Amino acid sequence: MFDPSKPNQRRQPNDWSSQHFETRAIRSGQDPDPTTGSVVIPLNMSSTYRYDALGQFKGYEYGRTSNPTRTALEDLLASLEEAKWALSYGSGTAAAQNLAWLLNPGDEILLSNDIYSGTYRFFTGTLARYGIITTLVDFNDLDATEEAVSAKTRLVWVETPTNPNLKVTDIAAVAAISKAAAALLVVDNTFATSCLLVPAATPRARRRSRDVQHDQVHRRSLGCRRWRDRRQRSGDRCLPARSAERRWSGAESVRLLADGSRPEDAGSGNGPA
């Protein structure tokens, strides 16, 4: 939590985790601006931030490493994903690439055999040049999934519902298989969004999600503690970046999820609780 006596911390947002989905969609990460009282997330365009003293700042140093608008989006996504934190990227491929940094030459990925073509090309084409093995699996066939696991399997990549055939995978069952193999499980939540599917509720699942609210807003979120820990150990503070305008637009668009977004709420006349 925020401690005003300690430097280099950003103020922590209000905790809305105990509230309903609709409330979290319009409140999490979107606290009123402490300076102006604005209830809309500010579009922060600053590239640099003032130091209170040498080495002392308010959680932000440079726009490429952190940005208050991106923070608001990530806090919001973490709340909707029921996660402790989230990272936003400029594209889904950027998120996939950062997960791939967890692998070494000779490691194997088990990949859904029905999956977005960009993900397929990245794993089977680009990563293959660096010695990463990709094996295609029908995760709806759990026996075949268990048989596909090898001593080299380090990452299990599930897309559900799949693109384009909308196959739905039993995340809990695949999570159990990946856990037995000591492999990380990634769940690519492309279509359902966090209002219908929360992979974080499944043990060992890492989240990669894309929510498309209209033609111009694409949002990806990723949670991966091992990646973050590795970055911190290496001293690399260059967090994934995307334009402030897109971060602001993405955060604002999430409000649409609270407007009759879930079947059980449709026509009920109940507002956010």
Q: Does the structure show a pLDDT above 50 at 232? A: no
Helix (H, G, I), strand (E, B) or coil at 163: coil
Q: Does the structure show a pLDDT above 70 at 241? A: no
For the stretch 74-119, pLDDT in tens is: 888 888 888 888 888 888 889 999 999 999 999 999 999 999 999 9
In this prediction, residue 202 has a pLDDT band, given cuts at 50, 70 and 90, of: low
Beta bridge partners of 219: 211
Other CB atoms within a 10 A radius of the CB of residue 66 amount to 17
Tell me the Ramachandran region of residue 82: left when phi exceeds 0, alpha when psi lies from -120 to 50, beta otherwise.
left
Q: Does the structure show a pLDDT above 80 at 157? A: yes
d(CA 58, CA 74): 18
Nearest of 253, 256, 190 to residue 221 by alpha carbon: 190
Which burial class, exposed, middle or buried, applies to 5 when counting CB atoms under 10 A from its CB (0-12, 13-18, 19+)?
exposed
pTM, two decimal places: 0.72
Domains detected in the chain = 21-265 (3.40.640.10)
φ, ψ for residue 68, nearest 5 deg: -60, -35
For the stretch 55-79, pLDDT in tens is: 888 888 888 888 888 888 888 888 8
Percent of the chain having pLDDT more than 70? Answer: 70
Tokens representing 172? 């809990």
- Predicted local distance difference test score (pLDDT) of residue 194: 83
Q: Does the structure show a pLDDT above 90 at 182? A: yes
d(CA 31, CA 13): 7
CB neighbour list of residue 156: distance below 8 Å, 6 or more residues apart: 109, 110, 174, 177, 178, 181, 183, 184, 185, 186
In this prediction, residue 219 has a pLDDT band, given cuts at 50, 70 and 90, of: very low
